[in-house]
Amino acid sequence: MKMDLYVMKFGGNAIRGKEAMMRLCREIAQMRSQGAKVILVHGGGPEISAEMERRGMQPKKVAGIRITDPETLDVTEKVLSDLNKDVVGCLIEAGVDAIGMPGYHCAMFVKKPPMKVVEDGEEKEVDVGLVGEVSECDPTSLMDLLEQDIVPVIYPIGKDKDGRRLNVNADTMVAGIAASVPCKEMLAITDVPGILMDVNDPNSKLDRVTLEEIDDLIAKGVISGGMVPKVEACRKAILAGVGTVRMVNGTDPECIVADVMKEGSLRGTVIVR
């Protein structure tokens, strides 16, 4: 099937509340009316942290990855599946047929090995707990839904081969999917205009960045926190042959994603080999 497939992911800071969600959903409706097919993945970082705090738990992240014990996983799954219903509801309200599902309905996962992180100038190994990485993605059911003009809406909870549930970073999830489907463009919708040379200066956006430049920006600490798994996800998608990989600002009052269908659009940061 010939199609212009856009695989998109948004986080909780980028699209916060019903109004923002409806705005994104209307843009997706517009893209579909221009012939695009869409797979949507969502995170929910701030919502998960807020719910943990409400329950007296302390959210902890290293290099953008949430340290996940069994209790954290329970909260994460509950918050993400609730959010998933809201996203599907908004798409339907915008006239887009959609079906929600957890990541384990279309992919297989393995527990993430301990991560090497630098803390206070010292390299350490940190076990982040019940966190998963995509090991395999079966695009069959996703492609079936797309053919029926339905948008799959995926929340990043995985399972390993023994059925053990794992928390998956939404950027990691979207890259696993984008890498396994005939994807024209992968879009990471976040709460900044793109990769910034100075996180506090929205005018310092890079329009285009190479993988080599990304390595350098991570080493220099210009790219940090949640931006690290995001650029790693972009790297995976590019190496898997995804046509265009881009980061855009979900809080942009003008336009979030619809513009990217224009040839040569300079929206956000495009990551290239």
Ligand X SMILES: Nc1ncnc2c1ncn2[C@@H]1O[C@H](COP(=O)(O)OP(=O)(O)OP(=O)(O)O)[C@@H](O)[C@H]1O
The footprint of ligand X (CB under 6 A) covers 11-14, 43-45, 64, 170-171, 190-192, 195-196, 199, 222-227, 230
Q: Judged by CB, which is closer to ligand X: 180, or 190?
A: 190
Q: Judged by CB, which is closer to ligand X: 132, or 226?
A: 226
Q: Judged by CB, which is closer to ligand X: 113, or 225?
A: 225
Q: Which does 222 bind (CB under 5 to 8 A by kind): ligand X, Mg ion, none?
A: ligand X
Q: Judged by CB, which is closer to ligand X: 50, or 255?
A: 50
Q: Which does 193 bind (CB under 5 to 8 A by kind): Mg ion, ligand X, none?
A: none
Q: Which does 224 bind (CB under 5 to 8 A by kind): Mg ion, ligand X, none?
A: ligand X
Distance CA(44)–CA(161), nearest Å, equals 25
Beta strands, E only, 202-272: 208-210, 244-249, 269-272
Q: Which residues contact 39 (CB under 8 A, 6 or more apart)?
A: 5, 6, 7, 8, 142, 146, 151, 152, 154, 177, 181
Binding-residue total with Mg ion (CB under 5 A): 1
CB of 45 to Mg ion, least distance (A): 6
Q: Which does 227 bind (CB under 5 to 8 A by kind): Mg ion, ligand X, none?
A: ligand X
User: Should residue 152 be labelled a site residue for Mg ion when binding is judged by CB under 5 A?
Assistant: no
User: What angle separates helix 45-54 from helix 70-93, to the nearest 10 degrees?
Assistant: 130
Q: Which of 66, 55, 70 is nearest to 12 (CA)?
A: 66
Q: Which does 199 bind (CB under 5 to 8 A by kind): Mg ion, ligand X, none?
A: ligand X
Beta strands, E only, the chain: 4-10, 36-42, 61-62, 65-66, 98-102, 107-111, 115-119, 122-126, 132-137, 151-155, 157-159, 165-167, 185-190, 208-210, 244-249, 269-272
Q: Which residues contact 115 (CB under 8 A, 6 or more apart)?
A: 62, 63, 65, 125, 126, 127, 128
Q: Which does 95 bind (CB under 5 to 8 A by kind): ligand X, Mg ion, none?
A: none
Q: Judged by CB, which is closer to Mg ion: 172, or 180?
A: 172
Of residues 215-244, those binding Mg ion (CB under 5 A): 226
CB of 11 to Mg ion, least distance (A): 5
CB of 148 to ligand X, least distance (A): 28
Q: Which of 142, 202, 160, 191 is nearest to 43 (CA)?
A: 191
Per CB under 5 A, residues contacting Mg ion are 226
